[in-house]
Amino acid sequence: MKTRAAVAFEAKKPLEIVEVDLEGPKAGEVLVEIKATGICHTDAYTLDGFDSEGIFPSILGHEGAGIIREIGPGVTSVKPGDHVIPLYTPECRQCKSCLSQKTNLCTAIRATQGKGVMPDGTSRFSYKGKPIYHYMGCSTFSNFTVLPEIAVAKIREDAPFDKSCYIGCGVTTGVGAVVNTAKVEPGSNVVVFGLGGIGLNVIQGAKMAGADKIIGVDVNDSKEEWGRRFGMTDFVNPKKITGDIVPHLVSLTDGGADYTFDCTGNTTVMRQALEACHRGWGTSIIIGVAEAGKEIATRPFQLVTGRNWRGTAFGGARGRTDVPKIVDWYMNGKIQIDPMITHVLKLEEINKGFDLMHEGKSIRSVVVF
Ligand code: NAD
Ligand code: AHE
Ligand code: ZN
């Protein structure tokens, strides 16, 4: 079939809207009509050439929601008409990682996913006879896409696509980092670095978990109002304080934070986030994705004296199990999504979504098909 898609033909070039060819689902795969997709900073990072796994030409996008239109042989867990959220972190429930119950990082199809192909080693997308690569196993910047059955979460049908798509990455990543990875306890002091599409969800997760102080850090002053809207109690712009940010945060938190979260992808910030943790127990969670080649550093003494450095992908969520529950949280009013979707765009306007993100003018832009 033919489908409209925004194709990343080359790094650092705007996406081009073209009609691509899409092969139908093979065994264990499903065809999904994408109804809406968010634009996450990770898409921009890959488009900008910072992703060591970035492959071109490809169809980016990993934060979508849509409807199953066709299933391949052997598919049993979903059927045409089901509403689903594509999962860049699938859940096969059979691999060593899934069975361990210690991680959400299913390994069933990770190797082929990183190479931009389906589990059989081939792409379903092509343009003018040449393959176009998949991205993060999702490629939601296409009106139709093919996914392995283990990489879709079936969700309730009354959830609006233009909001639920954000659960495909940003919401689950931010809220999940708090509840699944850090397991923030009531009364905790929390510091969130980077108040964008992920950081604001960390804030709303921390508020939901009963955190006491929730300090937001951002270089963009306009983010203060955003943070306060979701439960932030204090705001720090590192450019506006005198002296180093770490002692400033340590004094604001009576000796250091119980939990800090990096939602910037900046390795200097990651170090600050660790060092702003309380001696003896503070835990810093890395969410941000750093550019290829970047490394983190700190004095080992920071860890010897009891600070913990951890990371999280997709908020530690097991997609097929946890995503439908997060959709329920949204539908029941336990978490907010609507105010964070600042821009709704047509596919033809998708490059504007990237510009708004780089200019710090959006929280989440959503493309509706
Ligand atoms: P975003 O662009 O919406 O937000 C980033 C925010 O960080 C902005 O408000 C920006 O002003 C702020 N910022 C930038 N540099 C800063 C600095 N030096 N100090 C303080 N604040 C700074 O991006 P997003 O969509 O929220 O994504 C945030 C990061 O999370 C990205 O690196 C993205 O790739 C990553 N991410 C990771 C996962 C995961 O599973 N681990 C999932 C989604 C996104
Ligand atoms: N491809 C990059 C790594 C990018 C990365 O860490 N991605 C996160 C999700 S970001 C979503 O917005 C993730 O899921 N990581 C775990 C995994 O298996 O990719 C690189 O450095 O090569
Ligand atoms: Zn993302």
95 catalytic residue (yes or no):
yes
* Distance separating alpha carbons of residues 212 and 202, to the nearest angstrom: 14
Whole-angstrom distance between the N-terminal and C-terminal Cα of the chain? 17
Identify the active-site residue in 92, 224, 228, 267: 92
Look at residue 280 in the predicted model and tell me its pLDDT.
Answer: 98
Instruction: Say if CB 87 and CB 319 are below 8 A apart.
Output: yes
- Whose CA is closest to 73, among 125, 30, 119? 30
Look at residue 248 in the predicted model and tell me its pLDDT.
Answer: 98
| Structure token digits, residue 70 | 């066709």
**Ligand 2 atom 6: residue of nearest CA:** 289
What count of other Cβ atoms lies within 10 Å of the Cβ of residue 252? 17
What integer is the mean pLDDT of 181-208? Answer: 98
* pLDDT tens-digit series, residues 40-54: 999 999 999 999 999
Instruction: Say if CB 301 and CB 277 are below 8 A apart.
Output: no
- The two counts, helices (H) then strands (E), for the chain are 12, 17
* pLDDT tens-digit series, residues 223-272: 999 999 999 999 999 999 999 999 999 999 999 999 999 999 999 999 99
Q: Is the CB of residue 287 below 6 angstroms from any atom belonging to ligand 2? A: no
Query: Crossing angle, helix 245-252 and helix 267-275, to 10 degrees?
Result: 40
CA 70 to chain centre: 26
**Ligand 1 atom 27: residue of nearest CA:** 41
Atom number in ligand 1 closest to CA 41: 25
Q: Is the CB of residue 289 below 6 angstroms from any atom belonging to ligand 2? A: yes
* pLDDT tens-digit series, residues 113-134: 999 999 999 999 999 999 999 9
What integer is the mean pLDDT of 180-188? Answer: 98
* pLDDT tens-digit series, residues 279-302: 999 999 999 999 999 999 999 999
- Whose CA is closest to 17, among 359, 366, 346? 346
Identify the active-site residue in 3, 37, 46, 62: 62
92 catalytic residue (yes or no):
yes
Instruction: Say if CB 163 and CB 344 are below 8 A apart.
Output: no
Enumerate domains of the chain plus CATH numbers: 2-168+337-368 (3.90.180.10), 174-312 (3.40.50.720)
In this prediction, the answer to ipTM > 0.95 reads yes
Instruction: Say if CB 290 and CB 266 are below 8 A apart.
Output: yes
Radius of gyration of the chain (CA): 20
Q: Is the CB of residue 171 below 6 angstroms from any atom belonging to ligand 1? A: no
Instruction: Say if CB 96 and CB 148 are below 8 A apart.
Output: no
What count of other Cβ atoms lies within 10 Å of the Cβ of residue 158? 9
Identify the active-site residue in 3, 29, 37, 42: 42
105: left (phi over 0), alpha (psi -120 to 50) or beta: beta
343 catalytic residue (yes or no):
no
* Inter-residue long-range contacts of 279-282, CB under 8 Å, 24+ positions, other chains counted: 279/255, 279/305, 279/306, 279/307, 280/305, 280/306, 281/306, 281/307, 281/308, 282/256, 282/257, 282/258, 282/306, 282/307, 282/308
* Distance separating alpha carbons of residues 86 and 31, to the nearest angstrom: 11
* pLDDT tens-digit series, residues 7-40: 999 999 999 999 999 999 999 999 999 999 999 9
pLDDT bin (cut points 50, 70, 90) of residue 200 is very high
Write down the mean pLDDT value for the chain. Answer: 98
Amino acid letter for position 115: K
Look at residue 363 in the predicted model and tell me its pLDDT.
Answer: 98
* Distance separating alpha carbons of residues 167 and 64, to the nearest angstrom: 8
Taking the centre of ligand 3 as the mean of its atom positions, its distance from the CA of residue 1, in whole angstroms, is 28
Identify the active-site residue in 3, 83, 89, 106: 106
Residues 6 or more apart whose CB falls under 8 angstroms from that of 45 comprise: 51, 265, 289, 291
Burial of residue 92, with CB atoms counted within 10 A of its CB: 0-12 exposed, 13-18 middle, 19 or more buried: middle
**Ligand 2 atom 2: residue of nearest CA:** 51
What integer is the mean pLDDT of 72-100? Answer: 98
Q: Which helix (H) or strand (E) holds 308?
A: strand 308-311
- Whose CA is closest to 150, among 22, 328, 30, 316? 30
